[in-house]
Structure formats: structure tokens, C-alpha cells
Amino acid sequence: METSKNRGTLLRSFVFKYGLALLSVTLAHLITQALYPTLFPTPLFFAAIVISTWFGGTGPGLFAVVFGTLLLDYFFLSPVHAFSLRMADIPYLAQFVLPALLSGWFTKKRKEAEAALREARDHLEAKVKERTAELQHANAQLQSEMAERKRAEDNVHKTQADLAHLTRIMTMSELTTSIAHEVNQPLAAIVTNGSAGLRWLAAEPPNLDRARESVDRIIQEGNRAGEVIRQIRALSKKALPQKSALAINEVIQDVLALVRTELANHRILLTCELKPGLLSVLGDRVQLQQVILNLIMNGMESMEEISQAPRELQVQSSLTDQGQVLVSVRDSGVGLDPRQLDHIFEAFFTTKFDGIGMGLSISRTIIESHGGRIWASANHGAGAAFQFTLPAAEGAS
């Protein structure tokens, strides 16, 4: 009886998830077809894929990708109302399928991250309450409490590392469109150069020099795509800190490469002033990238409501009078409330409606673990400035 009931529940869940995916993609197709050619074919399909993955999971999300691809091929690619796969259609379909898969993957990861973050936050709050109760008996249990506190500190450090990883994943999921664009550009160039190479080889006689040039360009674009993927993997993977001598300007440029398209989409003018020849710093590349990415994303979000003035983001690196490396991120957004300056780096403090208040707290922890200092201040004009300093690596010159 219990087994039959469980099977019925699984069946209903299966029907709901895949039915939702089918309905979402079908509605996206009907609306797109009704508004075509005024509306570009793919945006509503992406929304349907995100909805299917969020509420259904990986299987329904992949089903939505496949079903959406078939609808695009059948209704929007020439010849219409017929399935065909011509060489000229492959770049178009690839520019839909690859971002669609990335959107589904990041949607799934974000949902998992939010669930894990809520669990970690609840766990942390429970631990704090537990420690408060135990400290009331500290006079009688001093020795045992010291050992328990040490274990609690280890748990907090582990939880903080997990939260830092989850925050990176959530931030990367917000950059899905930008990342997809950065990956699509070299992929489209590879397809174009591959087609050109085939044409040169098919000529009579074959033009080997031009074909070789096409192959060289394919290799360059492939390396470019691989570098984007490397940066994404480095930021998203979970690993223990690995400190080494780093050029802070290279760390900044790695982050800017991931967010340039997102900045352009939000009509934000980026000014980058990196002082050449700065001293190296001793740090973990991924953690410092996370800090810079958090500050840039905060600056972008603070300018979302700005419509009557230029949106400007300025990233600078320089050297302080004390010989430390200084990094500044300035925006022209809504600015900071002076009453909140003492609290913005505290855990779970946020001024955003849907914020969790961990980005700046984690950034402060990372910078302080590197022997540096981070602070925020109001600009002379509009917006705010977030700055941090790092000591130069020993022996750096």
C-alpha cells in the first residue's frame, strides 16, 4: 500500500515537472510566433528554460532545451515548417543551445546555492544560540568550554568558507548572459573560420596559405574560449586557499574580462586606471577575484535606479605612502547612508530588498586574512567608494 502511494506521488511529480516544461516552451513559442518578426525568437525560450529548470530540475530543463531547439528549427529557420540542419543554421542553433544549457546549469546551481545558504544560515544561528546557553555555565565548565569553543571556531571557519563559495556561485549565476556572450563570440568565430578554411581547401588549386591562416585563427579563438572557461571554473570551484605572489592588476583584469559585457548591458561606463609596475601581493587569486567581483557587482546594483545622470564605474590600483597596494572601486550610484557605514561589513546586514548580507562581510574576512584593510566612504559627488589595501609580498620589488 505504501509503495503504491509512493509511486503515485512520483508519477504526479514527474507529470507536473515535465508538463510545466512543455507548457512553458509552448507558451514561449506561441507568444514569439504571434509577435514575430517584431520579437527576436530566442528570449522567451530562454525564460521558459529557466522556469523549467528552477521548478523541475535538470531533466525538465534539458527537455525544454531540446523542445525549444526543435521549435526554432521547425518554425523559424528556413525552410519553415520542416526539420532541416544546414551548415548555415549551425552557428544560429549553437548560439541558442549553448547559452540555453548554461542558463539551465546556472539556474540549477543558484537554486542549490540558495537552499544550501539558507540551511547554513539556520545552522549558524542555531550554533550561536547554543553557545550563548553554554556560556551561562562558563564558571563551572571553563575547561570543557574552551575545547568546545575551539571546535565551534573551526565550524564557523568551515561555514564561512562554504558561504564564500556559495556567494561566488550566486554572483556567477547573475552574470550568465555576460558569460554566454563571452563564450559565444570565439565559438562563432571558430565556425566562421572553419567554413572559410574549407572553402580555401576546395578551391582549384587549393589556397593552402589562406587555409593555414584560417586554422591559426581557429586556434586563437579556441584558446580565447578556453581562457574564459578557465576563469569561470576558477571562480566557481571549491578549493582551499592557495597563496602565492600575485600581480594585482592581472587579478583585476581577469574579473573585468567577465563583467565587461554585463557593464555594457547596464549602460555603465567603465574607467580602468591601473598603475603599472605595482609590487606583488601575497594572496589567493580566487579569493581576491571574489572581493573585486563583489565590489563591482555592488557598484552596478547601486546604479540601477540612476536614469538622469551618467552611470560610471571607476576601478583603480595604486601604491600608498606606506608601500601597500591600494585597490579602489567607485560608482556614481545612490551612495551610502552615513548611519550605515559602521554596519555594511557586518554579516547579514544588507540594504537590498533581496540581499542576504554576506558579500561585503566575506570580502572583509578575505582582506583581513591577507593582512589588509577594507573600508567604504561617500564620494565627493554622487555614489560611493569601496577601497582595500594589501601588504606587498616579502621580497617584492
Give one DSSP letter per residue of 15-61, joined into a string: HHHHHHHHHHHHHHHHHHHHHTTTS-SSHHHHHHHHHHHHHH-HHHH
Lowest-confidence segment of 176-185, 190-199, 245-254, 363-372 by average pLDDT? 176-185
Amino acid present at 27: L
| pLDDT-above-70 percentage for the chain | 74
What pLDDT does 329 receive?
Answer: 94
65 vs 158: CA distance, rounded Å: 37
Which of 34-38, 124-128, 268-272, 361-365 is predicted least confidently? 34-38
Asked whether residue 7 falls in the same domain as residue 150, the answer is yes
Q: Residue 131: which pLDDT band, with cuts at 50, 70 and 90?
A: confident
Residue 389's pLDDT band, with cuts at 50, 70 and 90, is very high
For residue 306, being part of any structural domain is answered with: yes
Task: Kindly report which listed range (254-258, 326-330, 343-347) carries the lowest average pLDDT score.
Answer: 343-347
Cα–Cα dist 135/126, whole Å: 14
Statement to judge: residues 116 and 17 lie in one domain: yes
Distance (Å, rounded) from C-alpha 297 to C-alpha 235?
15
Task: Report DSSP state, residue 278.
Answer: P
Does residue 119 share a domain with residue 20? yes
Percent of the chain with pLDDT over 90: 12
Q: What's residue 89's pLDDT?
A: 67
Give per-residue burial for 125-149: e unless 16+ CB within 10 Å, then b: eeeeeeeeeeeeeeeeeeeebeeee
Please tell me the predicted confidence (pLDDT) of residue 324.
93
List, for residues 92-124, the tens digit of each pLDDT value.
677 777 777 887 787 878 888 888 888 888 888
Give the closest residue to 73 by CA, choosing from 99, 98, 94: 94
Report for 5-19, 81-95, 122-136, 369-383: range of highest mean pLDDT: 369-383
Rg (CA), the chain: 26
Judge whether 107 lies within some domain. Answer: yes
The pLDDT score that the predictor gives to residue 312 is 92
The pLDDT value given to residue 157: 54
Model pLDDT for residues 346-364, shown as the tens digit of each residue = 765 565 545 445 678 778 8
* Mean pLDDT comparison of 189-193, 314-318, 375-379, highest-scoring range: 314-318
Which has more pLDDT, 231 or 306?
Answer: 306
More confident: 136 or 216: 216
pLDDT at 253 over 80: yes
Q: In angstroms, rounded to a whole number, what is the distance separating the alpha carbons of residues 45 and 69? A: 9
| Tens-place pLDDT, residues 20-45 | 888 888 888 788 877 777 666 677 77
Residues 142 and 253 in one domain: no
Which of 144, 174, 204 is a domain's end point?
A: 174
Domain that holds residue 350: 243-390
Alpha-carbon gap, residue 5 to 11, rounded angstroms:
10
Within a domain: residue 396?
no
- Mean pLDDT (the chain, rounded): 77
Which is higher by pLDDT, 157 or 66? 66
User: Tell me, what's the pLDDT at 350?
Assistant: 60
pLDDT at 50: 84
> From CA 382, how far away is CA 83, in angstroms rounded?
55
Torsion from C-alpha of 283, 286, 290, 292, nearest 10 degrees: 60
User: Same domain, yes or no, for 136 and 247?
Assistant: no
Residue 374, Cβ density class (10 Å: 0-12 exposed, 13-18 middle, ≥19 buried): buried
- Joined together, the cell numbers standing for residue 383 give 555614489
Is the same domain home to 161 and 247? no
Q: What angle do CA 201, 204, 209 make, to 5 degrees?
A: 45
361 within a domain of the structure (yes/no)? yes
Please calculate the CA angle 336-342-343 and round it to the nearest 5 degrees.
Answer: 85
Please check the confidence at residue 331 and state whether its pLDDT lies above 70.
yes
266: nearest Cα among 228, 316, 303, 309: 303
How far apart CA 28 and CA 286 sit, in angstroms, is 38
Using CA atoms, how far apart are residues 273 and 315, in angstroms rounded to an integer?
A: 6
Domain identity same for 255 and 337: yes
Domain CATH for 313: 3.30.565.10
User: Is the pLDDT assigned to residue 394 strictly greater than 90?
Assistant: no
Q: Which of 377, 376, 228 is nearest to 291 (CA)?
A: 376
Name residue 255's amino acid: V
Whether 226 maps to a domain, the answer reads: no
H helices present in the chain, as ranges: 2-35, 43-56, 58-75, 90-135, 142-174, 176-202, 208-236, 248-265, 285-302, 359-369
Residues 262 and 381 in one domain: yes
Assess contact for 363 and 294: CB atoms under 8 A. yes
Number of domains composing the chain: 2
